Amino acid sequence: DTEVTQTPKHLVMGMTNKKSLKCEQHMGHRAMYWYKQKAKKPPELMFVYSYEKLSINESVPSRFSPECPNSSLLNLHLHALQPEDSALYLCASSQGSLPNTDTQYFGPGTRLTVL
Amino acid sequence: SQQGEEDPQALSIQEGENATMNCSYKTSINNLQWYRQNSGRGLVHLILIRSNEREKHSGRLRVTLDTSKKSSSLLITASRAADTASYFCATDKNSGAGSYQLTFGKGTKLSVIP
């Protein structure tokens, strides 16, 4: 199984809602990532988890709250978002054990619209 | 700011032709990777070239790396309509405990006309 799955595929939420994005992989990867991608732009890194611990937070606003319940799952909790947070949210994973570099495997993304 | 800058931003070619995309970056790198993204979907890893390599092949893909010029190119030979996608270069940086953070270039949108 070389797949990263993300749910939901699409999400529409109001600015006062609380919702969560979910990401799952069963490749035994120990590093997991959240990226945000606006239309016609490249992905931008938000968070990195390594061995279930948060290792990178790229100055992301606190209305985005990541969680890694176990080595296969990565969640992104959303609260009080703004319309400018509308984007494609991509999850990725990598083996996390290679000495020099790592290929990242991406999920299909969640298309988020904030009204 | 983005590490990589691709050019051209958009490229339109006929099926069967070769497509060349270029990427420049600003700081020294560990490795450079190329990813492909079909419209609104996740990214797919294509090829990785290490900083001590100059050229690498994978099927119809050929990647070159010139660290002195801080640039890389991706050549797709004998293009097919199914190659239509956006292509991104990405440099990686060790972010600790076996994880690597990718910084993507702006991407080249390739259209292959049947």
Q: What is the pLDDT of residues B71-99, one digit of tens each?
A: 999 999 999 999 999 999 999 877 777 77
Task: Decide: helix, strand or coil at residue B75.
Answer: strand
Q: What letter represents residue A45's amino acid?
A: L
Other Cβ atoms closer than 10 A to B81: 10
Alpha helices in chain A (DSSP H): none
**Pairing between β-strand A10-13 and β-strand A110-114 as defined by DSSP bridges:** parallel
Q: Report the percent of chain A where pLDDT is more than 90.
A: 79
Q: A58-81: per-residue pLDDT in tens? A: 889 999 999 999 989 999 999 999
Residue A45 to residue B103, Cβ atoms within 8 A: yes
Cβ contact, residue pair A108, B31, below 8 Å: no
| Mutation for A interface: B100, B106, B109, most A CBs within 10 A | B100
Q: What is the mean pLDDT of chain B?
A: 90
Of B41, B101, B105, the CB nearest to A42: B105
Beta-carbon separation of A96 and B88 below 8 A:
no
User: Given this model, what pLDDT does residue B1 score?
Assistant: 41
**CA of B88: which chain A residue's CA is closest?**
A42
